[in-house]
Amino acid sequence: MLQTLKPVPPDALLAVTEAFRADPSRDRVDLGVGVYRDATGITPVPRAVRAAEQKMLSRQATKAYVGQGGNRPFAAFMEKLALGANHPALRDGRVVTLQSVGGTGALRLVAELIRLSGYTGAVQVSNPTWANHVPVLQGAGLATAAYPYYDIPAGRLLAGRMLEALSACEPGTVVLLHGSCHNPTGADPEPGHWAELAEVMARRQLVPFVDLAYQGLGRGLDADAAGLRLLCERLPEVLVALSCSKTFGLYRERVGAVMCVAENAAAAATSMSHLQALARRNYSMPPDHGAAIVAEIASDPALHADWQQELDDMRDRVNGLRKSLAGALRSELDSGRFDFIEQQAGMFSMLGLPKDAVERLRNEHHIYTAPDSRLNVAGLSGKEIAAVARAIAAVSRT
């Protein structure tokens, strides 16, 4: 049987990390996969995470399974973090949440739920979108289509064209949106655009599917979820994939959540029953550790405050890096071509360079971006900014 399989190429984004690791140059800079790095170049374990782990380990008495929906205090906290404590959807009891295996696991479970509902249309994704969105959706048996989102050469959001395209979708169409810190572009809809999105989606009876993986790293915990909160107020159904990888620095612990906002409490409970069944036949029981850490932080006001402080500091640092890099590029090129880097939010921006320029960055300058010229700004330690700007200028001049 195995002999019938043909090899598939490695994941193009994850291959960037491998290529970086194999590069012996002392000047190498990894701006590929989205992980935050501090000024010393490491991806730190947040202080609150470390403290929570110590508390948990000293008192843990069993490794017996957690229940099927995962850690319940964790799920309740994630709902409040995403929606705000007093959201009407929470008050109306039309929200259910299941712990998932990272944000990607949440995307997969939502995709399976969509398929289970008998949906036959294509899921609309932004052009461009995260390199793994289409594989996850198609892997669950869904078709995909793309709506205009971003003008890559001009470095700007195409809000009008997005709204126009979504206005033409069939009622019931599922539309994947990035809650904030759009990956790969860093360009988010403005608050006014979210209001228009909510209006179009309500009028056309579209179903938003929101991927919120970078809450707190763009403009702030509340601001980064404002679009999602509005959709959940205005629309009867919203599907949400949440991730704790970046917001809590828990990358390898693989913790996230699926949140379904349904028309009423009964429909929400039915969705939860299906999510539990889907999880059971995928991996049976969720892992404990990551969600337990988040629940511990949520239950301890001092840890909670410290986590928020560190997240604020990370965000300020990334915004500072954006400013420095845009400034260095302005000086190198004597033009504002890359000024959009400073205005965008979250970990990524897209340089808009052709494939050969991305290869020259890698081969001649040892700078590793994603293949589509996405740059993980949050991966810069800071010291390399001048060299990175010089290299980007060199490959973009010719």
What single string gives the DSSP state of each residue in 297-338?
A: HHH-HHHHHHHHHHHHHHHHHHHHHHHHHHHHHHHHHTS-TT
Query: φ, ψ for residue 376 (rounded to 5)?
Result: -85, 90
Report the alpha-carbon distance of residue 30 to residue 362 in Å, rounded: 10
User: CA nearest 156: which of 340, 373, 375?
Assistant: 340
Question: Residue 243 CB, nearest distance to ligand LMR (Å)?
Answer: 8
Query: Which residue in the list 82, 213, 291, 389 is annotated as catalytic?
Result: 213
Interface with ligand LMR, residue 100, by CB under 6 A: no
Question: Residue 13 CB, nearest distance to ligand LMR (Å)?
Answer: 5
Interface with ligand LMR, residue 128, by CB under 6 A: no
| Number of residues engaging ligand LMR in binding (CB under 6 A) | 6
CA torsion sign, 312 to 313 to 318 to 320? positive
Q: E-assigned strands of 38-166?
A: 95-100, 122-127, 143-148, 150-151, 156-157
Residue window 147-186: x/- pattern of binding to ligand LMR, with contact defined by CB under 6 A: ------------------------------------x---
Question: Residue 348 CB, nearest distance to ligand LMR (Å)?
Answer: 7
Query: Which residue in the list 106, 111, 225, 246 is annotated as catalytic?
Result: 246
- Using an 8 Å Cβ cutoff, are 171 and 235 in contact? no
CB-based burial, 70-80: b 16+ in 10 Å, e otherwise = bbeebbebbbe
Integer CA distances (angstroms), 188 to 119, 214, 236, 298, 316, in order: 28, 12, 23, 28, 18
Is 211 annotated in the active site? Answer: yes
Question: Residue 337 CB, nearest distance to ligand LMR (Å)?
Answer: 24
Query: Which residue in the list 211, 224, 306, 372 is annotated as catalytic?
Result: 211
With H, G, I as helix, E, B as strand and everything else as coil, classify residue 280.
helix
Interface with ligand LMR, residue 381, by CB under 6 A: no
Interface with ligand LMR, residue 130, by CB under 6 A: yes
Residues 3-22 that bind ligand LMR (CB under 6 A): 13
Question: Residue 183 CB, nearest distance to ligand LMR (Å)?
Answer: 5
Tokens of 351: 């340089």
Query: For residue 4, what are the contacts with CB-CB under 8 A and spacing of at least 6?
Result: none
Question: Residue 129 CB, nearest distance to ligand LMR (Å)?
Answer: 10
Residue nearest to ligand LMR according to CB distances in the complex? 34
Is 213 annotated in the active site? Answer: yes
Q: Which is nearer to ligand LMR, 130 or 296 (CB)?
A: 130
Query: Which residue in the list 30, 75, 82, 130 is annotated as catalytic?
Result: 130
Report the residue from 43, 132, 167, 343 that binds ligand LMR according to the rule CB under 6 A. 132
Question: Residue 234 CB, nearest distance to ligand LMR (Å)?
Answer: 28
With H, G, I as helix, E, B as strand and everything else as coil, classify residue 37.
coil
Residue window 303-332: x/- pattern of binding to ligand LMR, with contact defined by CB under 6 A: ------------------------------
Report the alpha-carbon distance of residue 203 to residue 143 in Å, rounded: 23
Interface with ligand LMR, residue 214, by CB under 6 A: no
Residues 32-61 that bind ligand LMR (CB under 6 A): 33-34
Encoded amino acid at 304, one letter: H
Is 307 annotated in the active site? Answer: no
Q: Which is nearer to ligand LMR, 130 or 248 (CB)?
A: 130
> Is the preceding omega at residue 128 within 30 degrees of 0, hence cis?
yes
Give the footprint of ligand LMR on this chain (CB under 6 A).
Answer: 13, 33-34, 130, 132, 183
Task: Give me the active site residues, please.
Answer: 130, 211, 213, 246
